[in-house]
Amino acid sequence: MTVTQGVFYLMAAFTVGASLLVVLARNIVHCAIALVFAFFGVAALFVLLDAEFLAATQVLLYVGGITILLLFAIMLTSRISARGGKIMNEQVGISAVVALALFGLMAYANLKGFPALVPPMLAASDNTASLGRLLLTTYVLPFEVVSLLLLAAMVGAIVLARREQGKD
Amino acid sequence: MVPLSHYLILSALLFTIGMFGALTRRNAIGVLMALELMFNAVNVSFVAFSRYLPQQMLQGQIFAIFVITVAAAEAAVGLAIVLGLYRNFKTINVDEINLMKW
C-alpha cells in the first residue's frame, strides 16, 4: 500500500465518520462541529486529486463561511439547552432502507462500470492557472450567470431575514 | 494509485448519509447540513472524474466551483427562511410546520 492509498483511506474513513456524526448526533451544535471536520476531510481528498484551488475554496467557503452561518442560525433559533425530545421523525426505518438500497445500487454500478482506472500522468502544469483561464474564456457566461445568482441570493436573504416594519 | 471506483463509492456513501439525514432530521438546520453533505459528495465525484478521465480536462473542477457557489447561495437563502419560520412559528422542527399540508 502506497502513501497515497493510506492517506486516501484514512481521509475517507475520517470524512465518513464525521458525516455520520452530522446526521446522528443529538445536539445540533455537535452536528455543526462535525460538519467542519467532514468539510476538512473533503478538502483533503481534493488535494489528493490535484485540485488545490478547490481545496482552498472548500476551506474558505465551507469551513469559514457556511458553517459559521449555520452556527449563527442555530444560536438564533434553537434553545441549545433544550435536551431530550426526538431528533428524528418517524420515517427513520424506511429512510434507512431507501438510503442503503441506493448506496448498494450505486456501489454495484461503480464496481461494475468503472474498472480500476488509473489516472493519467499530470503534465507539469499549473491546474489553478488553467482553471482561471477556462473560467474567463470558455466558461465566462456561466461564470457571470452564477455571480448574478449570488447577488440575487444575497438580496433575497436580506429581504427574508429582515424584520418587517411595524412588527414586534 | 487509488482506483476511480473507490472515490465514487466514497462519494455514494457520503451522498446516502446526507440523504438519510435530510429525510429523517426534525430540525430544519439539520436538514440543511445534510444537504451540504450531499453537495460535497457530488463535488468529490466531479473532481475525481476530472482527474481520472483521459486528457487532463478541468470541466469537472469548473462544475464543482459552480456547485460550491450555488451551495453558498442555497445556505444563505435557506437560513434566512429558517429564521423567518422561527419568527412565525417559534419552532424549526419541520414536522410541526404543516400549515400548507392538506
Which CATH number describes the domain made up of B4-89? 1.10.287.3510
Residues A16-50 pLDDT 10s: 999 999 999 888 889 999 999 999 999 999 999 88
Q: Using 50, 70 and 90 to split pLDDT, how confident is the model at A120? A: low
Burial of A112 (0-12, 13-18, 19+ CB in 10 A): exposed
Å from B8 to nearest chain A CA?
7
Which chain B residues are Cβ-neighbours of A108 within 8 angstroms? none
- The model's pTM is 0.90
Q: What is the DSSP letter of B94?
A: T
Which chain B residues are Cβ-neighbours of A35 within 8 angstroms? 33, 36-37
| pLDDT of A87 over the 80 cut | no
| pLDDT of A81 over the 60 cut | no
3-state secondary structure of A115: coil
Residues 6 or more apart in contact with residue A156 via CB below 8 angstroms: B76, B77, B80
B55–A5 C-beta distance less than 8 A = no
| pLDDT of B22 over the 60 cut | yes
B9–A111 C-beta distance less than 8 A = yes
Domain ranges of chain B: 4-89
Average pLDDT over residues A81-105: 83
Question: ipTM more than 0.95?
Answer: no
C-alpha dist (Å) from residue B39 to A139, B24, B27, B75: 21, 18, 19, 11
Which of B30, B37, B52 is nearest residue A119 as measured by Cβ atoms?
A: B52
**Neighbouring C-beta atoms of residue A82, cutoff 10 Å:** 9
Residues B62-93 pLDDT 10s: 999 999 999 999 999 999 999 888 888 888 88
Q: Is pLDDT larger for residue A87 or for residue A121?
A: A87
Percent of chain A with pLDDT over 70: 85
Average pLDDT over residues A131-149: 92
Percent of chain B with pLDDT over 70: 98
